[in-house]
Amino acid sequence: MAGIKVNGIDFVVGGRYRLVRKIGSGSFGDIYLGINVSNGEEPQEVF
């Protein structure tokens, strides 16, 4: 699954989560689907 790229490089948060795609936004920020790079789980991230 392709992820969000910055300058052609996958965007990884905290060395742990690779962002896949934006799934929404609201008053608290943007919500992204992320994948834990160590175990493949898919938690949602809020930025």
Tell me the per-residue pLDDT of 15-38, one tens digit each, with 9 for 90 and over. Answer: 888 888 888 898 988 888 888 888
Q: How confident is the model at residue 8 (pLDDT cuts 50, 70, 90)?
A: low
Dihedral sign of CA atoms 44, 47, 5, 24 in order: positive
The pTM of the full predicted model, rounded to 2 decimals, is 0.62
Q: Are 16 and 36 in contact (CB under 8 A)?
A: yes
Map out the domains of the chain as residue ranges: 5-46
Q: How far apart are CA 30 and CA 16, in angstroms?
A: 18
Q: How confident is the model at residue 10 (pLDDT cuts 50, 70, 90)?
A: confident
Strands 29-36 and 17-26: antiparallel
